Structure 1
Amino acid sequence: MTTTWISSRMGQFAYFDRQLGHPDWAGKRVLDFGGNVGNILLDPNCTIEHEKYWSIDVSRDSVTEGKRRHPRANFVFYDRYNFEYNSTGTPGLPIPDLGKFDFIVGWSIFTHVSKVETLEFAEQLLGFLTDDGKAAFSFIDPTFTPPPGWARENESPGRSNLQWRLEARRATKPDMDVAGLLARAEQTELTWTTVVNDDELILDPDEDGVSADKPNRFYITFCTPAYMQKLFPQGKVLDPVPPERFHCLVIDKASRRAR
C-alpha cells in the first residue's frame, strides 16, 4: 500500500487567525508552508482569496489533490528530502522563491524537521515576507498538558504532549516502552526533543537522529517555549489556543530587521 500523506486535519485557519490577532486576510498573499491539500481554505470563516493562496509541500500526492480540490489556488511540489514524508527527495533543496507574501503560516512544520532545518527554513521563509508581513509557525511543547475540557477526545486529554504522541505511536507498536521513554525525559532538562520511529528518544537538540540505515517510518520533534524563544529572540512565542495543543512562534519583518 502506497502512503500518500494527504491530510484530513482541520482548524488551521481558526488557529492562525487567533494567533495573528484576527488580521484582514482579504487581498493578502498567503504562503502555507507544508499546506498539504489546502484544508485551511475549507474553514467557513476563512477569507483568504484562493488566487492569492500558495501551498508548498513535500508530498507530491497532496499537491496534485490540492490542485483538484482548489483549482483557483496555487500548489507547488517541493521535492526536498524529509525523513518521514519524502525520503527520496533532494537534501538541502532551497524553498522555491514565489515572490513576497503578506502572511506565511506553517502548521506543524517545525514538528517534523530537525533544529538545523527549522532554523534554515525560518531564515528562507522570512526572506519572502513583505515589509509589513508576518509569519506564524506552530510547534509542540513536550511538557504542555491541556486543562480539562481543552483537548479533543482522541488527543489524550490530561496527558502531556510528549506522552500523547508516544501513546499514539504505541497503537502501531504495542510493545513500545512509553513509560521508559517518559522516565528518560523526566530526568533531562528538555529543550529540543526528537522521537524517531517507535523507540528512539533523542534529547540532544543538536542531534537529528537520522541515519541511512534507519527505516523511514516516523519523525517528530518537540521544543519548549523557552528554547524556541532562545532560538528566535526577535519573535513572540504565544500560548496554545483551544482546542489546539500547539504553541505558536510569530515573527514579523520589522522585528527581523531590528536584530
Structure 2
Amino acid sequence: MNGILRHAKSALLTPLRRGGQQVVLTENFMGLGNLLYIAVWVAQAPDTRKMLETSNLAAWYPTFPRLRELTIQRTSMPFTAARIDSISTSFGRFGTDFAKTQLHDFCRDYLMTTTAPSTTDRLVINVRRGDYYTDPAARGHYAIDTEAFLRTALHHAQEQEPVHGIHVVSDGIEWCEERLQWLRDIAPLTFSRSTDTPADNLWTVAGARRILIMNSTFSYWAGYLHDVVHPGGESQVWAPRFFSRSQADHASWSLDPDWSIVESIPGGWDS
C-alpha cells in the first residue's frame, strides 16, 4: 500500500517538478559499480544534475573525493527538482548511455589518483563471490561456475600471450585459496590479503596490464580504470559475456567491445 501511495503522490507532483535541476533517486542497496554509472550521467551536466547521496557512496569519498560534487542529500533536494528513478532508468549501457570518451573522461576527472601501471607483469584475476553466491536471490540471477569460466578464459589468455604469474583478488579470498590452487599448474600463484580493502582490490586490478574479470559491475569499473591507466591498446582485459539471468539474453550491456570476451563455457552459463 505504501508503494502505491508513493507512486500516486509522485504522479501528482510530477507536473510541479519540472525545474532546471534533476536528481537521480539512488537506492541504498546499490554498490559502487551501479552508482558510478549514474555518476557518469550526472557528470555530463553537474550544475543541473545530481544523484542522491547514499551511505554506500559516501563510504567511497575518501578514495574518490570528487564524487561528492555530484551528489545531494535528500534534505537539500529542491522541491521543484525533477526526480529520476534509478531502477527504471538505464545508465549502464556501453555505447548507448555513455560513449567511451565520456567514460574515460569521467575516470580521469573523478576517479583517477596517482595510481601508476603495475611493474609486475602478471595476470590479475578478480573473482566475484559475496552476495552473488551467498544470497539465494542474487545467486539465481548472477552466479556462474567460476572455475569453468576461469579455465576457459585462461586458455584463451594463454593463447594470446604466455602467463608467467597469476594474482587473485577477491571479496571471498578464503574460497579462492581453497578452490583455486590448481592455478599453480599454470604459473606461480599469489592471493590478495584478507585485510585488503575494496579500494585496494580495485586499484590492484586497475593497475595490472593483464586482467581477467567477472560478471560484476565492480569488475567492470576496474576494467574501465585499467584502460585509462594503460592507454594505447597495450593492455588486455578478459570478461564473460554473461551478466544476469534477469535479462532476456543474459548478456552484459556494459562490456567494452574492445575487450576480449568469453562467449560460453563448457556446460553453459547455467551449469
Sort the TM-score into its range (normalised by shorter chain): 0.3 to 0.5
Instruction: Give TM-score, length-normalised by structure 2.
Output: 0.33
The structure where strand makes up a greater share of residues is 1
Instruction: State which structure, 1 or 2, has the greater radius of gyration over its C-alpha atoms.
Output: 2
Instruction: Give TM-score, length-normalised by structure 1.
Output: 0.34
